[in-house]
Amino acid sequence: MSMRPAWGPKLFLMLVTTTIVIGNYHRHRERTHLREQLVNGHKVTRNITRLQEEIIANLPPLRIPRLRHHRVTDWDPYFENAEGQGINGSQNVALHLGATALLDCRVAMLSGKKVMWLRRNADWASLLTLGNTTHISDPRYSISFQYPNNWRLAIAGVRREDRGLYVCQVNTHPPRMLVTNVTVLAPDIRIVDEARHELRDRYYKTGSGIELACVARPSCPDSRIPHPVWRKNGETLPDHVDVYHINGSNEDLVTKLYIEQAKKTDSGEYSCSVSQFSTAAVHIHVLNGEKQAAVHHDQWNAARTNHHEILKNLCITIASFLLLRAWIISSP
Ligand SMILES: *[C@@H]1O[C@H](CO)[C@@H](O)[C@H](O)[C@H]1NC(C)=O
Ligand SMILES: *[C@@H]1O[C@H](CO)[C@@H](O)[C@H](O)[C@H]1NC(C)=O
Ligand SMILES: *[C@@H]1O[C@H](CO)[C@@H](O)[C@H](O)[C@H]1NC(C)=O
Ligand SMILES: *[C@@H]1O[C@H](CO)[C@@H](O)[C@H](O)[C@H]1NC(C)=O
Ligand SMILES: *[C@@H]1O[C@H](CO)[C@@H](O)[C@H](O)[C@H]1NC(C)=O
């Protein structure tokens, strides 16, 4: 009987410490992540601003007398290929996955000013080219000047993530911009389980059945795509893995993969693709019976976060209980 009250506070202290440590670790991770985002975001903006300032500082002095000022606007650079020939312009370009993008920017009346290409979205921008030189290290991008005035940006082997806004900018004051909206026509591809949840990692017990579906949807309603193809670790599937093609709802094409009795050797990366560039992948882990706790949790990370959450809540519950108990015991 006399043992009990001595144990309570010790356990309580231990649990409280564990709770605080786990809580702090989570907050620390969030803060680090936020800081990284902020730092990276700032750098890009600063670099571009500095570059623009440099360019503006190096402008040649104005040669035309003030009296003829109205003529200057007539002679200022303008975009030939922009709709409406306003100061700024826009154009749309749709490309198939893997194609080479040629983004034209025809500038008339450039008269010594510089032309640059920028990639831009809501919260960042990056310099791709300036004059005849390419600034981005990705070798897929290049500037190829076409006589007489086309500052053409080429992007080889277009990828899904290349979609977005590209700005051709002339360093007048204020700058003139031709915005090109690039759309990439690529099938949407996903690997899902029986409940149609998207998968990345999945755990199975040896001997259990594996069923995965790969769903591909064409990027536009009229285009036709072949059924998706499954591979294991980048190679053809082993013989004991079955595959069925199904015509899904709407225009979806579905290829299902079955393994009747999973073995440890069935672990690996299973990928599903429609073309060279349109691929989704899932990691399958087949575990021995004794590791049942991990089996059938979809996302390992999600599962781990949940465990932390549960542990934390459990700690708080026990701590509260012990606190209450200690209080009851100590009160007269
Ligand atoms: C900014 O410019 C410096 C060189 O001036 C370069 O080393 C750095 O990578 C650039 N940062 C970004 C985010 O482009
Ligand atoms: C052109 O775009 C730039 C940058 O967005 C802006 O500063 C400028 O006012 C625009 N000019 C016109 C006439 O819309
Ligand atoms: C660089 O750009 C100019 C136009 O300003 C063009 O005439 C020239 O041929 C280009 N040089 C190279 C090496 O592409
Ligand atoms: C670019 O084009 C796509 C597809 O046409 C459209 O969904 C998107 O809103 C456009 N983006 C902008 C910024 O206009
Ligand atoms: C799926 O549809 C195509 C035509 O869109 C048809 O040729 C094919 O036989 C169908 N396959 C199945 C399994 O229904």
Q: What is the pLDDT of residue 72?
A: 42
Give the mutation target among 36, 43, 53 for probing the ligand 1 site: most ligand atoms within 8 A of CB.
43
Reported as a pLDDT band with limits 50, 70 and 90, residue 106 is: very high
- Cα 92 to ligand 4 centroid, rounded to whole Å: 8
Residue in this structure with the two tokens 């903006």, named with its chain if needed: 45
220 lines ligand 4 (CB under 6 A): no
Q: For residue 47, which ligand has an atom nearest its CA?
A: 1
Which one has a higher pLDDT value, 81 or 229? 229
Peptide bond into 148 cis (omega under 30): yes
Q: Which atom of ligand 2 is nearest to the CA of 174?
A: 7
Q: What is the pLDDT of residue 277?
A: 72
Report the nearest-CA residue for atom 13 of ligand 3.
132
Report the nearest-CA residue for atom 7 of ligand 2.
174
Q: What is the pLDDT of residue 207?
A: 93
45 lines ligand 4 (CB under 6 A): no
Q: For residue 49, which ligand has an atom nearest its CA?
A: 1
Distance CA 84, CA 236 (A): 53
Report the nearest-CA residue for atom 14 of ligand 4.
181
- Cα 36 to ligand 1 centroid, rounded to whole Å: 15
Q: What is the pLDDT of residue 275?
A: 78
Which one has a higher pLDDT value, 188 or 257? 257
Q: What is the pLDDT of residue 77?
A: 85
Length of the chain: 332
pLDDT in tens, 145-199: 999 999 999 999 888 889 999 999 999 888 899 999 999 888 889 999 878 889 8
Distance CA 100, CA 123 (A): 26
94 lines ligand 4 (CB under 6 A): no
pLDDT in tens, 65-88: 333 333 345 577 888 876 655 678
pLDDT in tens, 274-288: 877 788 999 999 998
Tell whether the model's pLDDT for residue 297 goes beyond 50: no
Report the pLDDT averaged over residues 30-35. 60
Q: Name the H helices within 58-68.
A: none
Tell whether the model's pLDDT for residue 43 goes beyond 50: no
- Cα 105 to ligand 3 centroid, rounded to whole Å: 14
219 lines ligand 4 (CB under 6 A): no
Tell whether the model's pLDDT for residue 53 goes beyond 60: no
- Cα 132 to ligand 3 centroid, rounded to whole Å: 6
* Dihedral, 311, 313, 316, 321 alpha carbons, nearest 10: -100
181 lines ligand 4 (CB under 6 A): yes
Mean pLDDT of the chain: 77
Transcribe 300-331 into DSSP letters: HHHHHHHHHHHHHHHHHHHHHHHHHHHHHHH-
Which one has a higher pLDDT value, 291 or 223? 223
Give the mutation target among 116, 145, 171 for probing the ligand 3 site: most ligand atoms within 8 A of CB.
145
Tell whether the model's pLDDT for residue 318 goes beyond 50: yes
Report the pLDDT averaged over residues 28-45. 54
Q: What is the pLDDT of residue 61?
A: 39
Report the pLDDT averaged over residues 92-107. 89
Residue 309 tokens, joined? 């959450």
Tell whether the model's pLDDT for residue 260 goes beyond 50: yes
Whole-prediction pTM value?
0.53
- Cα 46 to ligand 3 centroid, rounded to whole Å: 28
Type of residue found at 37: Q
Q: For residue 89, which ligand has an atom nearest its CA?
A: 2
